[in-house]
Amino acid sequence: MSSNIFNSGGDEKNKDFANKVDTHSKTLVTIIQRQKDIESLLENIHEKIDLIDHNAVADFKKVFKKTKDVSDDISDLKSEIKKIKDFNEKLSKQLKLFSTVDEVKKLEKYVDLWDPMQFVSRDELEKELEKNRKKTVDQIAKIIEKVIK
Is 120 inside a domain boundary?
yes
pLDDT in tens, 62-93: 999 999 999 999 999 999 999 999 999 999 99
The number of angstroms, rounded, from the C-alpha of 109 to the middle of its chain's C-alpha atoms is 52
Region 101-117: mean pLDDT is: 85
Residue 10 lies in a domain: no
pLDDT at residue number 11: 82
Q: Pinpoint the alpha helices (H) of 2-10.
A: none
Q: How many domains does one find in the chain?
A: 1
In a domain, 123, yes or no: yes
List of residues 6+ apart from 99 with CB closer than 8 A: 107
Q: Would you give the end-to-end CA distance of the chain in angstroms?
A: 201
Classify residue 122: in a domain, yes or no.
Answer: yes
Check if the beta carbon of residue 35 is closer than 8 Å to that of residue 28: no
In 39-132, the DSSP E strands lie at none
**What pLDDT score does 96 carry?**
87
On whether residue 37 sits in a domain, the answer given is no
Checking if the pLDDT of 1 tops 50, the result is no
